[in-house]
Structure 1
Amino acid sequence: LIENTLSCYNGIEIQHEWGKGCDNCPACRLRKNGYETFLKLRQKRMLPTANFM
């Protein structure tokens, strides 16, 4: 999906980890921030939780 989607307002097709785009327009910043948030949440859920009982 990432490889086949372009939301960049400038039509730039440079490939980044979060998808294709210029990394500067509002759409690219939003997409990049969303991807980074997803990665943080995914990593947080993969970490073992402490058992306090």
Structure 2
Amino acid sequence: MASLIVKSAVAEFLKKKGMRCSTELYAALDKAVAAKLDRALERAKKNKRSTVMEQDL
């Protein structure tokens, strides 16, 4: 599966905050985003929609 995050954007975001990130962060963050999207799409389905919306998050 393709990554759901942009590693360079994550690194840049953290750098601006004065932080660095480990290589393991990317996989964990990608997994967290996928889980969040899975929950959101299930909510959309329960509401009989095929479009995931902001309120599904």
Normalising by structure 2, we get a TM-score of 0.43
**Greater helix share, structure number:** 2
**Greater strand share, structure number:** 1
Larger Rg: 1
With CA pairs under 8 Å and 6+ residues apart, which has the higher RCO, 1 or 2?
2
Normalising by structure 1, we get a TM-score of 0.46
